[in-house]
Chains A and B, each alone.
Chain A
Amino acid sequence: AQSVAQPEDQVNVAEGNPLTVKCTYSVSGNPYLFWYVQYPNRGLQFLLKYITGDNLVKGSYGFEAEFNKSQTSFHLKKPSALVSDSALYFCAVTGAGSYQLTFGKGTKLSVIP
């Protein structure tokens, strides 16, 4: 069975500071990893994904994520947070050949002006 853990329910960061939202995963075989963002009363929007190759993945709105196979982690990062980044962030994992995406419970990011 595949699973995702997002250990923090909420992350608070000051505007302009770097941010990290943590994610660890468990899956059989090679992982395919995703980050999505959900703004209030909206659907999820895709941010970035890791399939293979470079461990540092760059995505939308200046976000990036680092895949670490030994630590089974895929943390989301941004060098300088904006107030508009405040939202709910979901990490998700699936395995090769699977259509089934398993989501973490989400981390609420609050960027304080």
Chain B
Amino acid sequence: DTAVSQTPKYLVTQMGNDKSIKCEQNLGHDTMYWYKQDSKKFLKIMFSYNNKELIINETVPNRFSPKSPDKAHLNLHINSLELGDSAVYFCASSPPGTGSYNEQFFGPGTRLTVL
């Protein structure tokens, strides 16, 4: 059973389009995250939700909007896609309790290519 799953795995789209990436975890975790990994493999936090409440909202364009319908799901919607949005997007989750000392479990990633 996949612990943290993302769909789609690959996403190729044109500039200006709107797209969504879905994430689901079956680990019973309370906290979920979205990360962006650029072409140099640098990993940066974008958003985090704890019990459906937004707790981390880094400086990202407001074209990016996370949505957490329930604790097991965290989706990422991107409006008006730009070339610079091309990257691998990772979803992650961590167990209940104080966030600091809990390791995060990562999904397989979604490779977004904007043409």
A and B pair up: yes
Which residues on A are within 8 Å of B, measured CB to CB?
A: 32, 34, 36, 38, 41-46, 49, 51, 88, 90, 94-103, 105-106
Task: Name the residue in B33, B55, B92, B101 with the highest tally of chain A Cβ atoms < 10 Å from its Cβ.
Answer: B101
Q: With contacts A32-B101, A36-B106, A96-B100 known, what are 20 further pairs, Cβ within 8 A?
A: A41-B109, A42-B109, A43-B90, A43-B106, A43-B109, A44-B43, A44-B90, A45-B106, A46-B103, A49-B101, A49-B103, A95-B100, A97-B98, A98-B99, A100-B45, A101-B104, A103-B43, A105-B42, A106-B42, A106-B43
Interfacial chain A residues near B50, Cβ < 8 Å: 99
Interface residues of chain B: helix, strand, loop or mixed (majority):
strand
The bracket for how many chain B residues form the interface is: 20 to 34
| B56 & A100 in contact (Cβ 8 Å cutoff) | yes
Q: Which residues of B line the A interface, CB within 8 A?
A: 4, 31, 33, 40-45, 48, 50, 55-56, 90, 92, 94, 98-101, 103-109
Chain A min CB distance to B26 (Å): 15
